[in-house]
């Protein structure tokens, strides 16, 4: 039977809140770096004389490297020591950030972004594992509130911060800003983070085939998710080949990991029902959440003519609400409230908020658009903290690093799947609605004739130089496209709301915590 370890055996010699601050500083900046570069791409494209397809590899290269390193973080920690690996990760991330900012060409920037992703990939699971070990079991909810505030707020603030830095200085400072943060994080880790006694193994084993298959499978999968929509999915041979390679590699990886004695990723933790349910929930829940995060600014900019800054500010109320609710959720868990008793209402609130978004129209004001985000922020605060607490409730301390790596991988992949799925559904539904609307709008309809005459008369009165049948028909066609896109946004939000609501029954699968019995030095 897999054993657990006592809290007293691993309690650090420094204040737990100092340790929390220490690990969250680099994690916050790493998570934010995923989204902070998005708004800088046009500036990078112009500065380095790159094409649109070429410059998107600045994002893809980072995501691929990030996705590859996350699942093996637990193994790397056990081999090299958690503190040593954490220092190495922050150092690589910081140095590569300097290289990104100083990159003289797109090729150098992409290579530097790969190293930045490799360095930053381990920070999320490492931070989560350290928080679990630093805080006693009764305060795991508080620990996950701290973690959640970092990983949830960072991608929300990323576009706003990236836009401000790029407009105020230049795109290179988006990377340079990581330098002082990285130096501060290295200093804090050296003084305040310690390895638990069980973290190092006596023997060094390399699961060569597992490592190879995981790298190929996750790398190809992330490229498919990031490039699929742009390449028209399976109408592209490039996407088909990568999908087949990813599917075969990951299937073989699962077989290898379940049979080898020293797996690079221990998949046997999925035997715990709560961990399995938690990973299914985080994958789908974060997919729906990130899908809505992408759709909302698109709707505001594409259909409502908001600037990038104002579109980003639409996300701010929900982010602030989550920031305030997460500590409250942590305190409730500390007082003995069952995680699933918070998780179910959290999922229901998130589903309701996204359903409200499916009712957006072309006349909605800022407050009408921001209100569902505020409600979603409330649900998110009741979603992430209890979900993470319930997922790890029965995971042994010695398996926390491995389990945290899996959990963070599926959270990130869920976000990538959600964004890819939302973009695909949006494009397909827009084409479908456009076809139906065009079929119904004909010159023989009285309603069309009235609208046509009114628009032509308005042009004659206000813009006589544009008053012509051709211009009038073009304006009508533009309005048809706007209406088709609006209906597509409504459909996509509605589908995301249904997926989110469908997760509520999974909360019944979470088990109660079991009692720890084994001494700290035992690893089974």
pLDDT tens, position by position, 319-332 = 788 888 888 888 88
| pLDDT tier for residue 95 given thresholds of 50, 70 and 90 | very high
CA distance 455 to 195: 72
CA dihedral (63, 65, 71, 76) in degrees, to 10, reads -150
Predicted confidence (pLDDT) at residue 311 exceeds the cutoff of 80: no
Query: What is the SS3 assignment for 303?
Result: coil
Residue 510 zone, left/alpha/beta (φ > 0; ψ -120 to 50; rest): beta
| pLDDT tier for residue 470 given thresholds of 50, 70 and 90 | low
| pLDDT tier for residue 453 given thresholds of 50, 70 and 90 | low
CB of 459 closer than 8 Å to CB of 467: yes
CB of 143 closer than 8 Å to CB of 20: yes
Tally the C-alpha atoms within 13 A of residue 290's C-alpha that lie toward its C-beta.
24
Phi, psi torsion values for 12, nearest 5 degrees: -70, 165
Q: Directed axis angle between helix 316-334 and helix 140-168, to 10°? A: 160
Predicted confidence (pLDDT) at residue 4 exceeds the cutoff of 50: no
Predicted confidence (pLDDT) at residue 88 exceeds the cutoff of 70: yes
Q: Directed axis angle between helix 82-101 and helix 73-80, to 10°? A: 120
The arithmetic mean of pLDDT across residues 133-138, rounded, is 79
The pTM assigned to this predicted structure is 0.79
CA distance 69 to 356: 37
Q: Directed axis angle between helix 366-381 and helix 339-357, to 10°? A: 160
CB of 90 closer than 8 Å to CB of 185: yes
pLDDT tens, position by position, 48-82 = 877 766 777 877 788 888 888 888 887 888 778 88
CA distance 198 to 81: 10
Report the range out of 356-360, 396-400, 462-466, 474-478 with the highest average pLDDT: 356-360
pLDDT at 443: 66
96, two tokens: 């590569």
Mean pLDDT is lowest, of 140-144, 169-173, 198-202, 519-523, for 519-523
The arithmetic mean of pLDDT across residues 393-419, rounded, is 83
Among 323, 302, 335, 13, smallest CA distance to 149 is for 323
CA distance 82 to 73: 9
Among 131, 139, 124, smallest CA distance to 20 is for 131
In eight-state DSSP terms, residue 512 is P
Which residues, at least 6 apart from 286, have a Cβ–Cβ distance to it below 8 Å? Answer: 411, 414, 415, 418
pLDDT tens, position by position, 232-256 = 888 888 889 999 999 999 999 899 8
CA distance 206 to 184: 33
Report the range out of 56-70, 83-97, 305-319, 435-449 with the highest average pLDDT: 83-97
CA distance 102 to 48: 12
pLDDT at 53: 66
């Amino acid at each position: 039977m897999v054993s657990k370890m006592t809290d007293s055996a691993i309690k650090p010699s420094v204040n737990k809140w100092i340790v929390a601050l220490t690990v969250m500083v680099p994690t916050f900046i790493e998570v934010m770096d995923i989204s902070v570069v998005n708004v800088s791409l046009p500036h990078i494209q112009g500065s380095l004389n790159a094409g649109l397809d070429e410059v998107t590899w600045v994002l893809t290269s980072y995501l691929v490297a990030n996705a590859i390193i996350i699942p093996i973080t637990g193994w790397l920690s056990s081999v090299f020591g958690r503190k040593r690996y954490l220092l190495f990760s922050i150092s690589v991330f910081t140095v590569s950030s300097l290289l990104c900012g100083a990159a003289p060409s797109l090729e150098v920037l992409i290579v530097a972004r790969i190293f930045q992703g490799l360095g930053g990939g381990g920070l999320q699971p490492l931070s989560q594992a350290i928080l679990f070990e630093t805080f006693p079991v009764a305060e795991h909810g508080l620990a996950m509130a701290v973690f959640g505030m970092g990983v949830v707020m960072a991608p929300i603030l990323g576009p706003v911060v990236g836009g401000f830095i790029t407009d105020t200085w230049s795109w290179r400072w988006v990377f340079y800003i990581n330098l002082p943060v990285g130096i501060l994080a290295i200093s804090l880790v050296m003084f305040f983070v310690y390895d638990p006694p069980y973290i190092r193994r006596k023997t060094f084993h390399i699961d060569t085939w597992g490592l190879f298959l995981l790298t190929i499978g996750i790398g190809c999968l992330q490229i498919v998710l990031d490039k699929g929509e742009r390449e028209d999915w399976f109408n592209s041979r490039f996407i088909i080949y990568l999908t087949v390679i990813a599917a075969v590699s990951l299937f073989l990886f699962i077989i290898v990991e379940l049979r080898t004695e020293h797996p690079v990723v221990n998949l046997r933790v999925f035997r715990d029902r709560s961990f399995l349910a938690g990973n299914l929930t985080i994958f789908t829940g974060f997919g729906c959440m990130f899908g809505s995060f992408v759709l909302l600014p698109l709707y505001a900019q594409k259909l409502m003519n908001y600037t990038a800054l104002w579109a980003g500010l639409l996300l701010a109320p929900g982010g602030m609400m989550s920031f305030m609710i997460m500590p409250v959720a942590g305190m409730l868990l500390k007082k003995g409230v069952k995680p699933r008793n918070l998780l179910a209402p959290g999922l229901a609130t998130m589903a309701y908020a996204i359903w409200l978004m499916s009712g957006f129209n072309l006349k909605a004001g800022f407050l009408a658009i921001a209100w569902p985000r505020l409600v979603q922020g409330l649900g998110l605060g009741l979603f992430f903290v209890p979900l993470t607490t319930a997922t790890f409730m029965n995971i042994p301390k010695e398996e926390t690093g491995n389990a945290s790596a899996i959990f963070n991988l599926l959270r990130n992949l869920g976000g990538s799947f959600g964004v890819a799925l939302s973009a695909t559904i949006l494009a397909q539904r827009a084409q479908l609605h456009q076809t139906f609307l065009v079929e119904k709008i004909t010159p023989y309809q009285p309603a069309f004739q009235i609208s046509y005459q009114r628009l032509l008369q308005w042009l004659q009165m206000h813009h006589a130089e544009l008053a012509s049948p051709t211009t009038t028909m073009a304006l009508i066609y533009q309005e048809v496209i706007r209406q088709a896109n609006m209906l597509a946004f409504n459909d996509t939000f509605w589908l995301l709301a249904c997926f989110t609501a469908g997760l509520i029954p999974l909360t019944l699968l979470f088990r109660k915590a079991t009692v720890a019995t084994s001494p700290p030095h035992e690893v089974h």
